[in-house]
Structure 1
Amino acid sequence: MKYLKLLSIILVLSFVISCNNNIEQTKQSQQPDAVVYSDKPFVQEYHDAYIISDNKGDNEVRNIAVDNASNVWIATASGMFCKSKDSREWKPVITGEDRGPAYSVRVINNGDIVMGTWNGVYRYSNNKLSKEEGVKQPVSVICANENEVYALGPLGIWQANGTRWDYQDYKIARSVRDAITDGKGSLWVATDAGVYLCNKGTSTLFQNTDELITCYASALSFAPGNEIWAGVMGGVSIRKENKLVKNLTTKEGIPSIFVNSVSQSPDGVMWIGTGVGVVRFEKDGSHSLRFSKRWLTDNHVNDVAFDKEGNAWVATSNGVSAIKRKIITLAEKQHYFYNELMTKHIREPWICGNLRLEVPGDTSTWRNSDDDNDGEYTGGYLAMESFRYAVTKDEDALIKARKAFGFLTKLREVTGTEDLFARTIVPVDWKHVHDPNRTYTEQQLADAAVRDPRFKPVEERWRKTTDGKWLWKGDTSSDEMCGHMMSYFFFYEYAAQPEDQAKIRSHVAGIMDAMIKNDYNLVDIDGKHTRWGVWSSSQLNGDPDWSSEKFLNSFELLAFLKFAAGITGEEKYEKEYQRLINEENYLKNASLLNKKNPAWQIYFDLTMEGYLFPILLKYEKNPELKAFYEDLAEEWMSKQTAGENLINNLAYTICMGKKVNVEQTINFLKDTPLDLVDWRIDHTLREDVQIVRTPIFEEVQISALPLPSERATVRWDKNPWAATSGNPAQVREPVFWLWPYWMARYLGIIEN
C-alpha cells in the first residue's frame, strides 16, 4: 500500500502540469449547475420525397411554384406537371404536340399560373389552360411581382398587359437565367454576362468583380433589408441600392461554387440552391445545409418554393423534395423514437439492433438484422431504460430493463462455457447473417499474418446452441465487454431492485472469475483468446504488437475489477485490482490514456472511456486514486470541447457532478432528424469545408463538426468528423437519442 500511495501521489502530481491547461478549457465549456432547458415546442424538419415518374426527363425538375391552394407546379425537362395538395400523383399540364421542355413557372398576383416553355407562354386560369400569343419562343424565365409579369428568353423580353404581351426593347445578353421585378418598373435580369437592371427603356450592366463575385449570374432574389441576392458562379453577391454590400462564398458556408437558385422563405430565411444541396442563411447570419438523400432526392438543387405552412418545395435534378416542418417538443420526439424502437428494433429474446433494408433507402423493405455489437448496443438500451425508470418510476421501464439484462446473461449461457459470452444470437433458420462461417486458404492466412501478426483466423464464428433454437456468434471483443459492464453498472445503480442486484452481482462475478482464471483474456471455444478480448499483462506490457491497446485496456480492466469489488464486496477483486496497479503498472498505463501516439488514436476510445469513468469514480474510495481518476476524466473531457458526444458529456456529469456542454447536448437532441435510415453522407463533395487529419490522424475528416442533421445516423462510437459515412441499406436504432435524453432528464438538464 505504501508503494501504491507513493505511485498515486507521483501520478497525480504529474497530472497537475500536464492537465492544468486542459482542465481550464473544460471548465470554460462547463455550464453552471443551475442551467436547465425547459422543454418547449420547436420546429422539427423532415423530408418527403417525390419522384415524378419512371421517365428521366420528367424527374429533371428545373423550376417550381406553389399556388394559393397549395398545389405544386413544376417545369421539367419533358414538360409541365402539377400535384394537387393532398395527392402524390403528378399530372401532365400540357399534353399532345405542345408537350416539351419547360423552364419556368410562377404564380402571379391574381392566382393565375404562368409557364415558360419550349414553344412559348401558357397560362392556367380558372381551371383552364391557354397558350398566350405575342411572345417568341422559347421562354426560359417568368417573373412576377404585384401587377407586373415578364416573360424572358433568348429572343427578348415581354411584359404582360392584360392578355397582351408587349415587347420590351432592352439590350441585354441573350443568356437569360433568372429575373425579378419590384413591381414598380424595375427589372433585374441574371445572365452569363452579369446582372442587368432594366428600367424605363435603359439597361445597366453589373459584371465587374467589385460588383459581383463573377459575371456568370444564375439566380436573383429580394431579401430582407431591401437587399438583392445574386447567385453567381462562386457564391452569392449581396447588393443594396445598386452597390455591393457583401459576398458569400465557400468560406462563408456556400457548399459549391455553382449556385443555381436563391429564394426567400416567408420568414425571411434565404435558401441557396447549389450543386451540393441547399444552404439556408438565417437573419442572424447562421447557416445550415440540407444535402444527401436524407433531405433531397438529388444534391443538384435548381429551385425552391414555399407553401403557406412554410414548407420548402425543392426542385432537384431527380425529383422534388419537400422539406416540411412540424412543431414538436423533446418529449414528443422521445415518444416518436421510442415507438419506432419498440415496433421495429427489438427482436427476440430482447435484442436492440439495427434493421437491414432489402432495397437501400426503402423503409418498407425492413428486416431485423444482427450486428457484431448487439451486446454493446443492447447494453446502451439497458442503460436508457434504467434512466427512464429512474426518472419516471414507470414499471414498464423496469420490466424492459430486466428483459435486456436477461438477454445479456443469455449470451453467456448459450456458449456452454464460463469463459466466454457471445457477441449475439439469431434464430437458427436465419439465412442472412454478418460474417458467416468461412474457410481460409494458406495464402490468405499468410497475407493476414503479414498485415497483422495478431490476426486470429476464425472459420466457425456461428455455432448452434444445444437446444437447436439459436445460432450464437463468438470471437467476442473488448468493446462488447465494456458495453456489458457499463450497462450492468447503470442498471445496478439506477433501476435494479434488490433481487435484480443479486443477479447482477452473480453474473459480473462469474465473468470476472473466468477472466482471472484465464489471465485476463476472453477465451473462445478453441481455448485461445478472442481476436480483441485481451487484457493480460503478458500481452499489454510484454508484446510490442499490443502496445496500441495497452493504455485503454489497462484502464478497462481496472474498471471491471473495481466494479466487481464494489458490488460484491469480495476482497479477491480488490486484491487483483491492487496487484495490477502495484506490480503490472496498469495505473501508469492508464495515465497515458489520452497521450497516445497519434498512430494509435481512434475516436472509439473516447466512448469506451465514457462507459467506464462512472464506474471508477463511483467505487474508488482511495483519495489519491480518486483524485487521479478525476484528473484523468478532466483530461479526457478537455479533448471534447466541441461537445460532440452526448454520452460522454453526460457520463462526465454523472461522475464529476458538473454539467458540461449543455447547449451542445440540447441542440443535438433538437437537430437530430426523425429519419433513421443511415443515408450515405459524402462531405468531400462540399467546398465549404476542408479535408483534414484531425482529431484522428489515421482517418479522413472534415474541418468543421457537422450538425446532427448533416451527418450519417449517429452511433456514439463513430467519428462525427468523418468525411464519408453511412450505409442506406440499414436503419439505426434510436437508442443513440433516447439514452442521452433520459440521462439529461435524470440529471435535471431537461425539465419536462
Structure 2
Amino acid sequence: MKKTFKAGLILLIALINGNYLLGQGNTEQYWKPVADNPYLQERREVIPTDKPIDQVAILDEVVYTVKEGKLFFLQGQGLVPVKGAPEKITKIEVLKGGLWVSSNSGLYLFDDKKWAKISAEKFVDFCMHLNQVHVATTESIFKYEDGKLTNIMPEGGYLSSDVTMFMEDGTQLLADPVTLGPITAIESYSQTLHILQPGKLVQLAGKVVNEHLIDWGNLPSNNTNDLLSIGSKLYISTDRGLGLLRGTSLTQIKGTDGLPVENTAQMVKGFDSDMWIGTPRGLIRMTADEFHYFGSGLWLPDNKVNRIASTKNKVVAATEGGLGIIHYEPYTLQKKAAHYEQWMEAYGHKRMGFTHLLSKRNGEWFRDISDNDGAHTATYLAAMSYKYAVTGDEADREEALDAFQAMLFLERVTPIDGLISRAVFSRKGDPGTMDNRGSGGLPAKWYATADSLWYWKGDASSDEVIAHYYSVAIFHDLVAKGKEKELAKEHMTRMTSYIMDNGWKLIDADGETTRWGRWNPEYLLRPYGYEDRGINGLEVLAFTYATYALTGEEKYKKGYDQLVKWGYPENTIKQKKTFPPSQIAPWDDNLALESYMILLPYEKDPDLRSTYLRSLERTFEIKRMEKIPWFNFTYAALTGNDADLGAATQHLREWPLDCTNYSYNNSHRDDLFVEKGYISYEGGVKAISPREVAALRESRRAIVLDGGRNGNRIMEPTGYLRDYWKGRYYGFIKAPTVSDKNLLTVEKFSGTNLGAKPYDGTERPDYLK
C-alpha cells in the first residue's frame, strides 16, 4: 500500500510544474507566473505632537513644520525651534533651494543658514513659473528676481477675455479694471499662469485674464482648494472630487473613479510620477492607475491632513495630531518574507515551537495562549515546509521541525491518544497569559497534566483538527525524513482513529463531545447541525482520505467510503455560506481551503473529483473579489486555472511592514464599490488593501472596512509567509533575479525584547530523540 503514498508524493512534485492533474487527463496550465521584481515598499513613522501641525516642508532633507504659528525642524523624534524665524506663520514652501515663509509680518526666505525679509505683505501661495519663483497675495502676483519682488501686472493693467469688451481695432474699453483676485492658489501649467479663485479657474494669458479657458466640462464643486500641475494635466481640488484640466477640457475624478475621499485639499508632486492629496479624512497617493489610502492609526496620528511635503523617498503629512512620515524603500517579496521572519524573532512571537499574537497589558507585551494555538502554528508549519521545499536550507527545515513537534505536543500532552488540545501552558516560568474563553464564548476548559508540569486547553474544534491534518500532511510530503515521516503518519492515524472510534466525534477528557468537533451524521444530517454539513463534511472527507493516502490502511478507506455513502460529498458543493452576511464565519473559508489541499491531490475517482472541484470552483468564485493569495494560489494549484495571480501577488506587496494592529476606518470612504470584473456574494462593497487595514492572520477577510486594536496587539505575520512561500513552491511567483543582497535580505533587528519576554518555562518534550 506504500504505492499510494508515493503516488501522492509524485502528484505533489507534479504540482510544482503546474501538472496537478497528472494521470487525470488534464495537464493544461492557464496561469502565468508573476515576477518578483523590485518595488517601493512603504515604512511608517508616526510622531505625535501635543498641538496640530499646520504646515510642513522639506529643505535639503530637513523637515520643517509650523506649530502654533512657530517654525520648527525635525530632529530625531522631536521638534526643535528654528532660530530667527518669524512668528504667526501661515504658509511655508520650498522653491528653488530656499524655504519661503509667509507670516502676518511679511514674506521671508530662509536658506538653512540665514534669513532675509522679502516683503512686508502677506502672501497666500507660491509657485515656480518659467524657472522663477512667483508669489501671490489675494489680489496680485509677483515675480522674485535679483532679490526683490516685482508685480507682474503689465503697464495699463490686465485685459479681459470677454469678447464684448473688444473694439474693432483690438483695444478694450473697460469701465472697471480687470483684477486677478480674490486669489486662493496659483500654478504654472503649459507655461501659463493659472489662478484659482473661489469656485473658479482663470488663466493669465499674457495681458489677458482668461475667464473662459474651459471649452468642455465643469468643476466638481464651487468649493475649490488647490492647484497642481503635472505634465499635461492640471488638477483642481474641491470638496466633491478633483477637477482635471487637459488642454481646454475639464473632467472630474470622483469616488466612483476610485478616489478614496472626494473632499480634497492640498496636492503635491510625489517622487515617482505620482501625486499626494491631503484630505480631512486621510492621505491619498494617486499613481498612474490606482489610489493608495493612508489613514490614521497605522500611517497617521490623525486623519485631518493640513499640509504635505514630498522628497525623493518619503512623504510627510502634517496633521492635527502630529506628523505622519511614509518612507519608501526598494523591496522584493522575498525580502519582505525575510523581514517578517526577523520580526517574529525580535518580537518573541514563538514559544516552544508555537506561534502567538502579542497583547499589551499594563504597558507590557505578552504572548496570548489562545483558543487556536494549533491552527495558528499550523500556518507557520506550512510556511516553513513550503520554504524548505524551495530553498533546501537546513535552517528552514529546523524551523519546520520545531513547529511540527509543537503540533505533536498538542496531542501527546492530553491523557487520551488522538485527543488534541487547543493550547498548552507551562505551570512554571511561562510569561504568556492563559485565555479564559473557549468555543462560542463559553468558559475555557483547562486541564492539568498528571505530572503537574502543564495545563492543556480542551474543547478542541474542527478548526484545530483540520489545521493539524493540513500542516502535518504538507510537512510529511515536503520536509519529513525517516522517523519524522513515521511520527507524522502516526499523528494522523491517532487522531483519525480516535474520531472514527467515537462515532465521528471528538470526545473531550470530560467524556463530552467538544462544542464543534462533530462530523457524525446524527449532527450534520439533522436540523441542529445542518448548517455545518458542508464545511464539516468536507473536513472529515479530507482528513480521512489523507490518512488513508499516507498510510495505506484500509480502515481509513472504509471510513471514507462510509462518508461517501452518507452523501457527504454532495453537501460539500455549497459548503461556502453566502447569506446572511452577518453570520458568515471567515475562518470557515480557511478550513475549506485546507481541506481541499489534502483531499484533491489524493482523490483519484473521477466522479468524486468532479464533485469536489465543483465545490472549489464555487468557493473560489465567491472569494475571488478579495484577491487574497491563500485562495488564489490554492485554486490555481488544484485546477491549473488562471486565478488573478497578478492581483494576489500585488496583495502581498501591499502588506505593511509593521505588524502592530492599529485601528483603521474605511467605511467613510467615497470609493466603496466592487471593482469591474468582480462580483460580491457576501455583502462586501470593496476589497480593502492590506495597506489600509492591519496585518491579519490566516482567517483574514478583505471586505471588513473598520477594525483594529488601537496598537494594543501585534499579529504574527505567518499568513504572509505561508502565502508567499506557497506561491514560490508552486511557481506562481518567480524567484527574484536581482543580485543585490539588499533587495533579498534584511539586517537583524536592532534592540532586544521588542515584544514579549523570552520563554523561560518548562522545556517541551523532544519526540525525535
TM-score, normalised to structure 2's length?
0.81
Cα gap change, 1:352 to 1:265, in 2 (>3 Å): same
Cα gap change, 1:266 to 1:347, in 2 (>3 Å): closer
Alpha-carbon deviations, 1:304-344, whole Å to 9, x = none?
Answer: 2222x342222222222222211122222222122212333
**Counterpart residue type for residue 369 of structure 1:** D
Cα gap change, 1:720 to 1:264, in 2 (>3 Å): same
Task: Judge conservation of contact 1:108–1:114 (CA < 8 Å) in 2.
Answer: yes
Alpha-carbon deviations, 1:369-392, whole Å to 9, x = none?
Answer: 233221101001111111122122
Displacement after TM superposition at 1:589 (Å): 2.3
CA distance in 2 between counterparts of 1:591 and 1:255 reads 37
State the superposition RMSD in angstroms. 3.2
Aligned residue number for residue 87 of structure 2: 99
Aligned residue number for residue 491 of structure 2: 507
Displacement after TM superposition at 1:275 (Å): 2.1
CA distance in 2 between counterparts of 1:126 and 1:387 reads 53
Aligned residue number for residue 298 of structure 1: 302
Cα gap change, 1:490 to 1:168, in 2 (>3 Å): same
Task: Judge conservation of contact 1:580–1:586 (CA < 8 Å) in 2.
Answer: yes
Pick aligned residue for 2:56 from 64, 67, 76: 64
Displacement after TM superposition at 1:610 (Å): 0.9
Pick aligned residue for 1:117 from 103, 109, 114: 103
Q: What does residue range 105-144 of structure 1 map to in structure 2 within 5 Å?
A: 105-109=92-96, 111-125=97-111, 127-135=113-121, 137=122, 139-144=123-128
Q: What does residue range 526-537 of structure 1 map to in structure 2 within 5 Å?
A: 526-537=510-521
**Counterpart residue type for residue 596 of structure 2:** F
Task: Judge conservation of contact 1:713–1:726 (CA < 8 Å) in 2.
Answer: no
Identical counterparts, % of pairs: 23
Cα gap change, 1:485 to 1:368, in 2 (>3 Å): same
**Counterpart residue type for residue 661 of structure 2:** D
Cα gap change, 1:585 to 1:513, in 2 (>3 Å): same
Alpha-carbon deviations, 1:148-205, whole Å to 9, x = none?
Answer: 444445586555454444567773555x543324697x54343434334456676455
SS at match of 2:658: coil
Which segment drifts farther, 325-334 or 161-170? 161-170
CA distance in 1 between counterparts of 2:571 and 2:730 reads 32
Task: Judge conservation of contact 2:282–2:293 (CA < 8 Å) in 1.
Answer: yes
Task: Judge conservation of contact 2:29–2:640 (CA < 8 Å) in 1.
Answer: no
Q: What does residue range 508-657 of structure 1 map to in structure 2 within 5 Å?
A: 508-542=492-526, 544-582=527-565, 584-594=566-576, 598=580, 601-642=584-625, 644-657=627-640
CA distance in 1 between counterparts of 2:436 and 2:505 reads 24
**Counterpart residue type for residue 701 of structure 2:** N
**Counterpart residue type for residue 217 of structure 1:** T
Q: What does residue range 185-200 of structure 1 map to in structure 2 within 5 Å?
A: 187-198=193-204
CA distance in 2 between counterparts of 1:456 and 1:106 reads 56
Displacement after TM superposition at 1:726 (Å): 2.3
Aligned residue number for residue 436 of structure 1: 436
SS at match of 1:218: strand
Aligned residue number for residue 213 of structure 1: 220
**Counterpart residue type for residue 391 of structure 1:** V
Paired residues, what number? Answer: 678
Cα gap change, 1:326 to 1:603, in 2 (>3 Å): same
SS at match of 1:639: helix
1:669 paired with 2:652, answer: yes
Cα gap change, 1:349 to 1:751, in 2 (>3 Å): same
TM-score, normalised to structure 1's length?
0.82
CA distance in 2 between counterparts of 1:435 and 1:402 reads 26
Displacement after TM superposition at 1:281 (Å): 2.7
Task: Judge conservation of contact 1:219–1:262 (CA < 8 Å) in 2.
Answer: yes
CA distance in 2 between counterparts of 1:115 and 1:183 reads 27
Cα gap change, 1:162 to 1:182, in 2 (>3 Å): farther
**Counterpart residue type for residue 39 of structure 2:** F
Q: Which runs of 5+ in 2 are unaligned?
A: 1-27, 154-177, 736-769
Displacement after TM superposition at 1:223 (Å): 1.4
Q: What does residue range 196-595 of structure 1 map to in structure 2 within 5 Å?
A: 196-198=202-204, 203-205=209-211, 210-225=217-232, 227-241=233-247, 243-283=248-288, 285-307=289-311, 309-358=312-361, 366-418=365-417, 420-428=419-427, 433=433, 435-436=435-436, 458-542=442-526, 544-582=527-565, 584-594=566-576
SS at match of 1:103: strand
1:43 paired with 2:43, answer: no
Which segment drifts farther, 469-478 or 488-497? 469-478
Task: Judge conservation of contact 1:237–1:244 (CA < 8 Å) in 2.
Answer: no
SS at match of 2:672: coil
Cα gap change, 1:601 to 1:293, in 2 (>3 Å): closer
RCO comparison, higher one (Cα < 8 Å, 6+)? 2
SS at match of 1:268: coil
CA distance in 1 between counterparts of 2:661 and 2:590 reads 20
**Counterpart residue type for residue 699 of structure 2:** D
Displacement after TM superposition at 1:427 (Å): 3.5
Aligned residue number for residue 660 of structure 1: 643
Aligned residue number for residue 172 of structure 2: none
CA distance in 2 between counterparts of 1:748 and 1:93 reads 55
CA distance in 2 between counterparts of 1:163 and 1:392 reads 63
**Counterpart residue type for residue 555 of structure 2:** K
CA distance in 2 between counterparts of 1:456 and 1:347 reads 26
Which segment drifts farther, 119-128 or 140-149? 140-149
Displacement after TM superposition at 1:236 (Å): 1.1
Displacement after TM superposition at 1:400 (Å): 2.0
Displacement after TM superposition at 1:494 (Å): 1.2
CA distance in 1 between counterparts of 2:34 and 2:296 reads 31
**Counterpart residue type for residue 535 of structure 1:** W
SS at match of 2:600: helix
**Counterpart residue type for residue 274 of structure 2:** V
Pick aligned residue for 2:187 from 165, 170, 180: 180
Task: Judge conservation of contact 1:148–1:181 (CA < 8 Å) in 2.
Answer: no
Aligned residue number for residue 747 of structure 2: none
Q: Which runs of 5+ in 1 are unaligned?
A: 1-29, 439-454
CA distance in 1 between counterparts of 2:555 and 2:590 reads 29
CA distance in 1 between counterparts of 2:624 and 2:689 reads 15
Aligned residue number for residue 8 of structure 2: none
Alpha-carbon deviations, 1:507-532, whole Å to 9, x = none?
Answer: 21211222123222222233212222
Cα gap change, 1:196 to 1:315, in 2 (>3 Å): farther
Task: Judge conservation of contact 1:643–1:649 (CA < 8 Å) in 2.
Answer: no
1:710 paired with 2:692, answer: yes
Cα gap change, 1:168 to 1:668, in 2 (>3 Å): same
CA distance in 1 between counterparts of 2:605 and 2:148 reads 91
Q: What does residue range 73-92 of structure 1 map to in structure 2 within 5 Å?
A: 73-83=64-74, 87-92=76-81
Alpha-carbon deviations, 1:665-698, whole Å to 9, x = none?
Answer: 322222222121222222112011159998465x
Task: Judge conservation of contact 1:179–1:190 (CA < 8 Å) in 2.
Answer: yes
CA distance in 1 between counterparts of 2:224 and 2:626 reads 40
Task: Judge conservation of contact 1:207–1:215 (CA < 8 Å) in 2.
Answer: no
Cα gap change, 1:588 to 1:264, in 2 (>3 Å): same
